[in-house]
Every structure is written in structure tokens, then in C-alpha cells.
């Protein structure tokens, strides 16, 4: 191009020297000038294009190398802003960038786009879900973005680094929103058996969100869609706001307080209930226990699962004194549990809250029946899972589980062999592959222990059968089910963890009638008549009915009030230990 330009200049000078002033010659000269100018302009553009393409290819090659190098260093980075950071989805990110030919996905022409800002905004908002923005590189993203905005974009040398962190933040946040931060299967005490959630292809999901410029919306749709979650999330916000205002007063232990009492502890009780949000109907500095204070205290006791007697005793003092930070953490881990649940609880289902000792029947998203339940004791706790009830069994036999047989029944049999007959138990044993009945009197019980006990103990149907008159089966790996009980007095206790893992229900006949309502053969009269026969009867439900066994120690009640319950199995404490660890467990 340089030689062509020189020739153009030489010709121009030559024409000037040889100019004759004739119009035709001048016209010809002008036309030649135009042609030469056009060719030079074309050459300039072609040369510039070649240089730009060469530069882009070179930059792309450098970018490819940088992305790969940083990913191959993951999960731990050891320099600069990434000290202490880790990549949570290294393999997924490697595949994602490979599928996208190692292109920057959060930048356009080396300029950060709105998708990145939307993601960072959602990362910061994750705190409202009870999650920690630091788990999604919030600090590093903020620092890198500040660095990016402090200089000319083309001089920012961490494009690839920022891009990788943004992608990992999206995948991590999406996973935590959809499935929970902690995998419940990794927690021995929270062994799950939930209806599986829909599998999510996060890579395709992210590509679609980027294309539609819907980063925040795509993430928020992964959160649980049922009211229990959104209501509890609002209470988390409310309790976090309280933290910036005041903490409730500590009430020291002491004697029982009721209407008519007075003194400093009554004054502290007033201040404490007022800080909790209850109307005390008087001055917070008043030290007299009146009817208004009793009403407020009874409301608190009801909301916190205590005996509703209006008396300030040790259990009530304990709950009143749990500090605000602990309550916030309690709400937080219960939000996490709700993220473990299926995508939808369904329109019709049974919901058992183990920690509340309660069962609700929900039809078309409205509660139509409720009852008390008795759950497993501390040594034989009731598990958490979801399934479907498939059978109603009238007049059930009870085959005593091996653990209960050797730990509970064997000592009683050894003490008095008549215990079996008096309680309608029969003894069986397998012989040559067949189950045969054995006479207890033929057994040398003094020689039987847990190691050589090879009998089956079965209780016949009847009024004193441990399962009562009805049981509800949803076959599962835990051998847990709902059933009636002859020990009706246990339902009068406020804390009801007395069973060996199965769930005893307060209204078994009402529940049986409800589940069989679509079967015209099984009317109330037919059920009552069948129960008189003392013979076991299996009834298969025409449509299996969903049941959720859940352990909730914090939720929002029908009137919009927060409810808290005692952590009867210590599961909250163990979950908090994993959930609030500084380093993620991936």
C-alpha cells in the first residue's frame, strides 16, 4: 500500500508540472485522482480489518488459555483477591465453558453487561433466604467489580477471573435455591426419602437465562413456591429488623408467677413479652401480674408449644430467654428444611409436624382436619420423609419389631411368661422355611438373650392391641406408619414423644373415613361393622394419598403468627453446625 500511495503522489506532481490548462486534461486528471483515492481508502480499511481480526484471534487465544488455567487451578486459588476462595462447581464450569468455546458469557465486547449486575444483586439478596452471600463469592465479586469500574475496561486484566466467579456463583446459588445448601442425605439424623425433585440442567438453564436477560427471575423461580416458605421468609426479615431495634429482657429463674404476683421478675416478664410483639395492656415498667399480662403470656405459650396455663414456670422462662440471634438461626435452618421438600406439597396431602406433635389434612390447599399425634422417643426418633398412603388396615396384627422384642418384651417375658397370653401375644418361629407357632412354655427363657433370640412375637387384633383398631401404611425403608393406640391418655401431654418411631394419631377412625370417602363400599357403617369382627382387613386406596413427615421447629401459623417448638431430637443443633460452617461442604 505504501508503494501505491507513492505512485499516486508522483503522478499528481507530474501532472501539475505538465498541466496545459486544457479542460479535457483537467477533467481526466480529476477522474484519475478519484480512482486513486478510492483504492487507497479500500486498502486502508482492508489493512485495519486484518489487524483487528489478528488482534481478536490473539486475544481469544489468550482468553482461552487464561480460562483453562484458572479452572485447572480450582478448587483453590492462592493469589490476590481470591485468597481463601474456592470454586464449588469446577467440573460443571469446565464443561460449560468448553460448550461455549471458552467465550466470556458475562461480558459483551469486553464490557460487563446487565446480566452480571443482576446476578450480583441476587447474590446479595440471598441473605433474605437465610443464606450467606459469601458462599457465592460476594466479596470477591464486589472487589473485582470495583476494580473494573476504577479503570478503563480495556485495561482490566481480570475479565476471565470475574467471568468464572460469576458463573460459579450462579450455579451454586441455583443449587442452593432448588435443593438446599446442605444435602440432607449427608446428615445421619436427617436421612431423607423424599419424592424426587425434577432434575435440573443448570448449564442449559443459565444459557437460557442469559439469552432472555432474566438472571434474577430464573433463580427466584427455583425457590419453594408454597406459602409455608414465603411466610417464614417474611418472618426472618421481621426478626432481623428487630435485631436492629432491641433485644428482649432476660428473666432470671425463680418461683412460679401467676395473676396477683408482683416484683422485678414480673416487670421483666412485661418487657420481654412486649419485645416479642405481644400486647401486655399496660406499662412495661409495671411490676404487677394482672389479667392482661396473663392473656399475653398464654398467647406466647400457645405460639411456642407450651402448656397454656398463664403461669410463668421453668419451661416458659426457658423459651422466653432464648435470644434473638438463636431465634433467627432457628428460622434459618427451618427455611433450609423447606428447600429439601418436593417442588410442590400437592393440593391434597397429610402433613405431620414431628416437633409439634400434630397432623393436618389438607384438601385443595385448605386444612380440613387436624389432630394430635405421638411420635418417637429420643432413642427411637421418627424419621423425616415423604411418601403416599396406599392401604388402610382395620383390626391390624402387630408384629413386634426385633429391637423392641429383645429390648422391651424379652425382659418382661423372662420375668413372667404369662405376660404373652395376658396381652394377646403369640410366639412364632421359622422352621424349614415355614412360620409355625411355638408354645412359650417350651422355651428355656433363661437361656435366651438378644444374640440368640430368633422368635417372632405377634399381637392379635383387639382393644389392647398396640396399634389400636386402625393403621395406615405407606411402605418405606423405615417401617414407619400411622396407627391408632389404646393409650388415649397420652394425648393429654403437651410433649408427646413416647412411641418407638411410628406415629400414633388421635382420630384414627375419622382419618380412615376421610381416606375412604371416594370408595362407596366403605361407608362409616361398613367400617364400624368390620371393626366388630376382630379380623384383620386390608383396604387398598383407589388413589394413594401423599403424606409428608416433617420436622419443623419454626413456622407461621394460620393467623400469621410465628410458632416455635422445642428441638426434641437435637436436630436443629446438628443442622446449624453444618449449615453455618465457614467452609462449604461440597
Q: What is the DSSP string of 474-513?
A: ---TT---EE--S-GGGGGSSS-EEESSSEEES-HHHHHH
Q: Where are the alpha helices (DSSP H) in 112-200?
A: 114-125, 138-149, 159-179
Alpha-carbon gap, residue 37 to 39, rounded angstroms: 5
Q: What is the pLDDT of residue 343?
A: 79
Q: What is the pLDDT of residue 371?
A: 98
Element (H or E) spanning 428, and its range?
A: strand 425-431
pLDDT-derived band of residue 127, with 50, 70 and 90 as boundaries?
very high
CATH 2.60.40.10 assigned to domain 345-395+464-552? The reply is no
| Cell representation of residue 262 | 408482683
Percentage of the chain modeled with pLDDT above 70: 82
75 upstream amide cis, omega within 30 of 0:
yes
Q: Active site residue: 137, 276, 502, 548, which one?
A: 502
Check pLDDT > 60 for residue 493: yes
Q: What is the pLDDT of residue 111?
A: 85
The pair phi, psi for residue 358, each rounded to 5°, is -140, 155
Q: Active site residue: 28, 483, 493, 548, which one?
A: 483
Other C-beta atoms closer than 10 Å to the C-beta of 377 total 15
CA nearest 341: which of 233, 197, 198? 197
Domain boundaries in the chain?
Answer: 2-70, 264-322, 345-395+464-552, 398-460
**190-204, 275-289, 436-450: which has the highest mean pLDDT?**
436-450
Q: Tell me the longest C-alpha to C-alpha distance in the chain.
A: 143
Q: What is the pLDDT of residue 66?
A: 61
pLDDT tens profile 342-382: 878 889 999 999 999 999 999 998 999 999 999 999 999 99
Element (H or E) spanning 297, and its range?
A: helix 291-303
Q: What is the pLDDT of residue 35?
A: 58
* C-alpha 143: how far from chain center: 30
pLDDT-derived band of residue 69, with 50, 70 and 90 as boundaries?
low
CATH 1.10.101 assigned to domain 264-322? The reply is yes
* More confident of the two residues 287 and 3: 287
pLDDT tens profile 199-229: 778 999 999 999 999 999 999 999 999 999 9
Other C-beta atoms closer than 10 Å to the C-beta of 568 total 23
Check pLDDT > 50 for residue 3: no
Q: What is the pLDDT of residue 407?
A: 94
Q: What is the pLDDT of residue 42?
A: 53
pLDDT tens profile 151-203: 776 677 778 888 999 999 999 999 999 999 998 887 765 554 444 566 778 99
Q: What is the pLDDT of residue 433?
A: 87
* More confident of the two residues 197 and 447: 447
Does residue 240 have an active-site annotation? no
Does residue 483 have an active-site annotation? yes
Amino acid at each position: 500500500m505504501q508503494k501505491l500511495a507513492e505512485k499516486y503522489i508522483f503522478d499528481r506532481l507530474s501532472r501539475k508540472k505538465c498541466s496545459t490548462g486544457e479542460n479535457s486534461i483537467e477533467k481526466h486528471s480529476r477522474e484519475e485522482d478519484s480512482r486513486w483515492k478510492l483504492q487507497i481508502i479500500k486498502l486502508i480499511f482492508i489493512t485495519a480489518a486484518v489487524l483487528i481480526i489478528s488482534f481478536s484471534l490473539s486475544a481469544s487465544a489468550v482468553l482461552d488459555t487464561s480460562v483453562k488455567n484458572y479452572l485447572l487451578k480450582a478448587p483453590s486459588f492462592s493469589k490476590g483477591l481470591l485468597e481463601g476462595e474456592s470454586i464449588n462447581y469446577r467440573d460443571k464450569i469446565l464443561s460449560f465453558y468448553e460448550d461455549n468455546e471458552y467465550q466470556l458469557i458475562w461480558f459483551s465486547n469486553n464490557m460487563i453487561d446487565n446480566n452480571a449486575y443482576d446476578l450480583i444483586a441476587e447474590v446479595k439478596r440471598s441473605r433474605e433466604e437465610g443464606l450467606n452471600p459469601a458462599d457465592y463469592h460476594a466479596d470477591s465479586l464486589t472487589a473485582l467489580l470495583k476494580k473494573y469500574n476504577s479503570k478503563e475496561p480495556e485495561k482490566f486484566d481480570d475479565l476471565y477471573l470475574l467471568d468464572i466467579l460469576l458463573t460459579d456463583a450462579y450455579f451454586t446459588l441455583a443449587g442452593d435455591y432448588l435443593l438446599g445448601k446442605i444435602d440432607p442425605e449427608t446428615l445421619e439424623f436427617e436421612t431423607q426419602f423424599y419424592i424426587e425433585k425434577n432434575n435440573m440442567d443448570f448449564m442449559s438453564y443459565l444459557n437460557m437465562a442469559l439469552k432472555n436477560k432474566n438472571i434474577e427471575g430464573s433463580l427466584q423461580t427455583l425457590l419453594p413456591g408454597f406459602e409455608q416458605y414465603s411466610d417464614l421468609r417474611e418472618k426472618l426479615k421481621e426478626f432481623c429488623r428487630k435485631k436492629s431495634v432491641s433485644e428482649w429482657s432476660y428473666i432470671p429463674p425463680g418461683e412460679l408467677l401467676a395473676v396477683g404476683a408482683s416484683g422485678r421478675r414480673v416487670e421483666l416478664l412485661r418487657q420481654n413479652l412486649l419485645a416479642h410483639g405481644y400486647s401486655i395492656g399496660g406499662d412495661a415498667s409495671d411490676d404487677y401480674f394482672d389479667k392482661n399480662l396473663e392473656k399475653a403470656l398464654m398467647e406466647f405459650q400457645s405460639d411456642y408449644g407450651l402448656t397454656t396455663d398463664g403461669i410463668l414456670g421453668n419451661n416458659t422462662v426457658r423459651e422466653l430467654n432464648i435470644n434473638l440471634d438463636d431465634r433467627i438461626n432457628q428460622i434459618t435452618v427451618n427455611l433450609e428444611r423447606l428447600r429439601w421438600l418436593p417442588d410442590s406439597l400437592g393440593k391434597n396431602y397429610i402433613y405431620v409436624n414431628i416437633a409439634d406433635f400434630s397432623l393436618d389434612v389438607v384438601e385443595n390447599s385448605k386444612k380440613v382436619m387436624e389432630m394430635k399425634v405421638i411420635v418417637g422417643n429420643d432413642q427411637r426418633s421418627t424419621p423425616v420423609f415423604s411418601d403416599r398412603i396406599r392401604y388402610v388396615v382395620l383390626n391390624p396384627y402387630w408384629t413386634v419389631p426385633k429391637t423392641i422384642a429383645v429390648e422391651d418384651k424379652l425382659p418382661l417375658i423372662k420375668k413372667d411368661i404369662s405376660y404373652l397370653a395376658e396381652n394377646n401375644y403369640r410366639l412364632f418361629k421359622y422352621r424349614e422355611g415355614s412360620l409355625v407357632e411355638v408354645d412359650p412354655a417350651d422355651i428355656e427363657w433363661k437361656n435366651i438373650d438378644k444374640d440368640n433370640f430368633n422368635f417372632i412375637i405377634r399381637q392379635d387384633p383387639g382393644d389392647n392391641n398396640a396399634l389400636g383398631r386402625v393403621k395406615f401404611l405407606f411402605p418405606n425403608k423405615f417401617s414407619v406408619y400411622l396407627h391408632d393406640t389404646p393409650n388415649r391418655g397420652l394425648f393429654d401431654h403437651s410433649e408427646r414423644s413416647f412411641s418407638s418411631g411410628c406415629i400414633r394419631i388421635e382420630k384414627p377412625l375419622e382419618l380412615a373415613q376421610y381416606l375412604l370417602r371416594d370408595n362407596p363400599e366403605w361407608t362409616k357403617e361398613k367400617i364400624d361393622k368390620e371393626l366388630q369382627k376382630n379380623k384383620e382387613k386390608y383396604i387398598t386406596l383407589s388413589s394413594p394419598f401423599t403424606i409428608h413427615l416433617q420436622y419443623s421447629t419454626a413456622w407461621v401459623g394460620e393467623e400469621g403468627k410465628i410458632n416455635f417448638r422445642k428441638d426434641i431430637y437435637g436436630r436443629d443443633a446438628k443442622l446449624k453446625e453444618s449449615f453455618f460452617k465457614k467452609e462449604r461442604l461440597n
